[in-house]
Amino acid sequence: YDITDLPDPISSMNMLHIVGLSDDGVCGISVVSKARNSWGLGLAEEQHGSSHFKNGASPRIVLKHPANLTEADAELLLKRWAGKQEGSRNAGKTALAAGGLEVEALPISNEDAQWLESRKFQREEVASWFGVPVHMVGGEKGPYNSTIAENQAYLRRTLKKWLCSWEQ
């Protein structure tokens, strides 16, 4: 690069320096670099969950038939059941178990429940890095009054210092 191609420096009078996450209040630290480990953990959990649910997750229901079915009949029953009950278009549809067929729901395993809980923790951790209420990053919303109180606290604790800094 030719130094003559560079624009004139901006004077400090025409510059707004917004200090974010900082150890010393002068030099900023990238939130992404500070949060890299926690986000890396979240990505590892995503990969684990994807692999688990793709390759080895246990079924959520069991179909019990009173008769001894041939392999072909069992495959046909499962195929028809899947066609009527699986997928987003069938979510919430009522199932019909006829001919003595019983449908038994299996409880979620402790391992799966713990994995789901860790995903919830990851969302809370990301929200904490930015000082944002969890409901603003897709977490669970509390009662209406609680959400209003969280939003007001967010304004006081997080946004107010930025707004005052910008105003000054």
Tell me how far CA of residue 11 lies from CA of 3, 8, 15, 24, 140, in angstroms: 18, 9, 7, 23, 46
**What is the Cα–Cα distance from 45 to 168, expressed in whole angstroms?**
43
CB 78 within 8 A of CB 27: no
Give the pair of three-digit tokens for residue 109.
């395993």
* ∠ CA 71-76-77, rounded to 5°: 100
33-53: average pLDDT: 69
The 10 Å Cβ neighbour count of residue 126 is 19
* pTM over 0.85, yes/no: no
CA dihedral in degrees (38, 44, 46, 48; nearest 10)?
A: -150
155 vs 34: CA distance, rounded Å: 23
What does the pLDDT look like over 110-165, one tens digit per residue? 666 666 676 677 778 878 777 788 888 777 777 778 888 888 988 888 888 878 87
